[in-house]
Copies of this chain bind each other. A is one copy, B any other.
Amino acid sequence: MAADLQIYEGAIDKGLEGVVACTTGISSIQDTILSFRGFDIQDLAANSTYEEVIFLLWNDRLPKAAELEQLKKDLSAEYALAPDLLKVLKTIPAKDVHPMQWLRTAVSLMSHWDKEANEPSKEANHRKAIRLTAKMGTLICAFEAIRNGREPIAPKKDKNIAWNFMYMLKNGQEPKTEHVKIFDLCLVLHADHELNCSAFATRVTASSLSDMYSAIVSAISALKGPLHGGANEQVMIMLKKIATIEKAQQFVKDLLSAKEKVMGIGHRVYRHGDPRAKILRQVSDKITAEAGEHKWYEISILIDDTMQKEKGLMPNVDFYSAAVYYSLGIPIDIFTPIFALSRIAGWVAHANEQYANNRIYRPRGKWTGKMDQKWIPVAQR
């Protein structure tokens, strides 16, 4: 067996670029087309709700009316946090911690009140998926309340995930229908993205046959990094630093003479443009105008168009989601947790796909260190 084993060294230290790790039927990226379960993201963005996309990602087909109702019912029954969990969450330092750090702890902690946390059956995994997906928004909004010294708002069972998130985040202020629709669209767009770093982290952890919570905690841990989930946050920080159209023109000039990277521009997989960015560019135009801050859009398109024309680089999803979330009044450091609120749908699908056809991830390293060292007593070193 050892003799048969091919060793592939073509992608060493390149983050497995160009290596196919597994088969998948969840989402695919073909040139500029992203599809979930074979449905073009543009089609889903135009027609689906986030809840419908959850069903699609988990079941490989669109739900019938009764199935969609059942999923919504199952989710809403799990929106609320266990009172004892909430009690503990209130005792955990929430100031000067990273929101994703808090979320990582909270999701891990949540498992302690789930009697099925370590039960590996398909049915238990589905119930855990429902719980994780239903409670993600409630947890994030509990964090926002707790760190601001407020009592967390309880979710409403007759509303969807997008509505509840905006309602709880803003301390019980009912969100505008149009804002909920835009936010729901954002959840649809971010729900999965093939083998991105956090989906891959989900699969690596699941591959030891570790449980669903462990897989999702790993995903949150990976998403926390500035090269992954942190990108749209960085885009907004950049936009705020630029602040005016005049400065944006100077910024763009400086860009062309320097070799600096711009956050939110370029993508390893999309060489010819990210379809989600195209959709969000239009949304950004509208929502920033409505918020009376169209300049964020104007600064964005100036950078985007220049980078496309002069450097052939296209914006990715993070580039336009930044100003959209900002215009919806969402705190900048909550942008990454929102990513988790949406991507949980995909993570769960990846965990289940991994469980269904599993081999433990265990690549090799290429040795570049010293060899044949000999231990010598400490006095002789």
What band does the interface of chain A fall in when counting residues whose beta carbon is under 8 Å from B? Answer: 35 or more
A359 touches B101 (CB 8 A): no
A21 touches B364 (CB 8 A): yes
For A198, give the chain B residue with the smallest CB separation.
B208
Q: Is A197 in the interface zone, CB < 8 Å from B?
A: yes
Per the 8 Å Cβ criterion, residues 64-89 of A in contact with B are 64-65, 68, 87-88
Given known contacts A37-B373, A105-B109, A368 and B48 CB-to-CB distance under 8 angstroms: no
Q: Provide the bound-state CA to CA distance between A364 and B30, in Å.
A: 11
A-B contact pairs, 25 of them (CB 8 A): A2-B271, A6-B10, A7-B18, A15-B207, A16-B19, A16-B362, A17-B362, A21-B364, A21-B365, A25-B370, A28-B365, A28-B369, A38-B372, A48-B375, A65-B378, A65-B381, A97-B117, A101-B108, A101-B118, A102-B112, A105-B111, A197-B360, A208-B226, A214-B224, A268-B360
Closest CB pairs A-B (n = 10): A208-B225, A25-B369, A210-B225, A24-B365, A214-B221, A15-B359, A208-B228, A38-B373, A16-B363, A38-B370
Q: Provide the bound-state CA to CA distance between A96 and B196, in Å.
A: 34
> How far apart are A7's CB and chain B's nearest CB, in angstroms?
5
Given known contacts A38-B372, A39-B375, A197-B208, A363 and B20 CB-to-CB distance under 8 angstroms: yes
B217 touches A207 (CB 8 A): no
For A69, give the chain B residue with the smallest CB separation.
B378
Cβ–Cβ < 8 Å partners of A18 in chain B: 5-8, 364
Q: Provide the bound-state CA to CA distance between A156 and B91, in Å.
A: 28
> How far apart are A345's CB and chain B's nearest CB, in angstroms?
16
Q: How many copies does the complex hold?
A: 2
Q: Is A258 in the interface zone, CB < 8 Å from B?
A: no
Name the contact of A228 in the complex, choosing from B100, B112, B360, B367 (C-beta under 8 A): B360
For A353, give the chain B residue with the smallest CB separation.
B365
B374 touches A43 (CB 8 A): yes
Q: Provide the bound-state CA to CA distance between A218 and B216, in Å.
A: 9
Question: Residues 31-70 of chain A: 1 if any B CB is under 8 Å from the residue's CB, otherwise 0?
Answer: 0000101110001101110001000000010111100100
Question: Residues 194-230 of chain A: 1 if any B CB is under 8 Å from the residue's CB, otherwise 0?
Answer: 1111101100111111110111011011111111111
Q: Provide the bound-state CA to CA distance between A8 and B88, in Å.
A: 47
B20 touches A68 (CB 8 A): no
B221 touches A217 (CB 8 A): yes
Cβ–Cβ < 8 Å partners of A209 in chain B: 225-227
B208 touches A223 (CB 8 A): yes
Q: Is A366 in the interface zone, CB < 8 Å from B?
A: yes
Q: Is A357 in the interface zone, CB < 8 Å from B?
A: yes
> How far apart are A71's CB and chain B's nearest CB, in angstroms?
12
Q: Provide the bound-state CA to CA distance between A210 and B221, in Å.
A: 7
Q: Is A113 in the interface zone, CB < 8 Å from B?
A: yes
Q: Provide the bound-state CA to CA distance between A310 and B115, in Å.
A: 43
Q: Provide the bound-state CA to CA distance between A39 and B376, in Å.
A: 11
A373 touches B39 (CB 8 A): yes
Q: Provide the bound-state CA to CA distance between A20 and B367, in Å.
A: 10
> How far apart are A228's CB and chain B's nearest CB, in angstroms?
4
A222 touches B218 (CB 8 A): yes
Q: Provide the bound-state CA to CA distance between A198 and B43, in Å.
A: 39
Per the 8 Å Cβ criterion, residues 329-381 of A in contact with B are 357, 359-379, 381
> How far apart are A216's CB and chain B's nearest CB, in angstroms?
9
